[in-house]
Structure 1
Amino acid sequence: MKELKLGMNLSFFISLSIIAFTLLVLDALIVSERISMVSFVQLTLSAAIMFYIVTGLWAIFSGQSRVIICNQGVVYHSLLGQKHYIPAEEVEKISVERLLWFSYTKLYLTSGVLRIWSFKPNLAQQQSLKLLGYI
């Protein structure tokens, strides 16, 4: 069984970091005598994004979160850390899509489409996916 462990999508995490930093800068520019609701929403959203980045990167570097594609199917972890298995019979096609400046992995399933934002295959892995018949 040939396994492909998809690599970390660094541009996705950089994009999230830029969004969180932009929200913090916008909050610093909107200074008033009392805390406004817009400022509270910006700080909360920025904190949530930073928490997601830290927990996501921690899970990736500790080996707890990864996407494995093999000839028997796909194994991935959801946002909440739950492990999911999709048998190869349900996977119709795997493609690497681009949105603005970063790539993400798109799985076409019999029941719908699954987008994996934080992982992507490199060029050698894309060639292996072609050999396995996914691309």
Structure 2
Amino acid sequence: MRELRLQINVTFYATVAIIVMSLLTISLFVTKGHDDTLLKSAMLLSFILIGAINLNLVMTLSGKRQASMCNNGLYYISTLGRRVYIPVEGITNIRVQKLFGIKITKVSTTDGSVHFLTMQFSSTQENKLRKFGYLAQ
């Protein structure tokens, strides 16, 4: 099996963008006549989320944040830039779940679990992993 690079999870970014924009829109309309700190904090939170998601997307598109699976194990670069390698002996199973239309890839290891929200396997990659017995049903 060759190296399988995880793709960008476009559904995740679209869902987060819709949530952030709706939160921002609600806080903009409601704070016009009110001086409520809760709504202003919601607006601040939406700006922080927009910045974090944009930074994550730019890092993913530029190749600074990536994940790949091969015969030897799983290699990924975390959000903070830490390079992590998990040997194949340490991986117990890989499960792809859908939650609100977003694919969440969960890699269970002997030490814990790693969740990928912004990265995903393509359908052909999932079929290859199932065929070779790497992916849980």
| Same fold (TM > 0.5) | yes
Task: Measure, in 1, the Cα distance between the counterparts of 2:48 and 2:77.
Answer: 19
Q: Report the equivalent of 1:37.
A: 37
Amino acid at match of 2:103: S
Kindly provide the CA deviation profile for residues 55-87 of structure 1, in whole angstroms up to 9, marking residues without a partner as x: 111111111111100111111122222221111
Structure 2 residue 115 is matched with structure 1 residue 106: no
Structure 2 residue 68 is matched with structure 1 residue 65: no
TM-score, scaled relative to structure 1: 0.90
Q: Report the equivalent of 1:9.
A: 9
Q: Any unmatched runs of 5+ in structure 2?
A: none
Task: Measure, in 1, the Cα distance between the counterparts of 2:79 and 2:45.
Answer: 17
Task: Measure, in 2, the Cα distance between the counterparts of 1:55 and 1:32.
Answer: 30
SS of structure 2 residue aligned to 1:65: coil
> How far off is 1:112 after superposition?
2.0
TM-score, scaled relative to structure 2: 0.89
SS of structure 2 residue aligned to 1:59: helix
Task: Measure, in 2, the Cα distance between the counterparts of 1:75 and 1:53.
Answer: 22
| Alpha carbons 1:71, 1:132 under 8 Å: kept | no
Amino acid at match of 2:122: N
Runs of 4+ in structure 1 off by over 6 angstroms are none
Kindly provide the CA deviation profile for residues 3-39 of structure 1, in whole angstroms up to 9, marking residues without a partner as x: 0001110010111101110111111121256643212
Change (3 A) 1:44 1:31: closer
Task: Measure, in 2, the Cα distance between the counterparts of 1:2 and 1:131.
Answer: 14
SS of structure 2 residue aligned to 1:98: strand
Task: Measure, in 1, the Cα distance between the counterparts of 2:90 and 2:6.
Answer: 19
Task: Measure, in 2, the Cα distance between the counterparts of 1:75 and 1:47.
Answer: 31
CA RMSD of aligned residues (A): 1.7
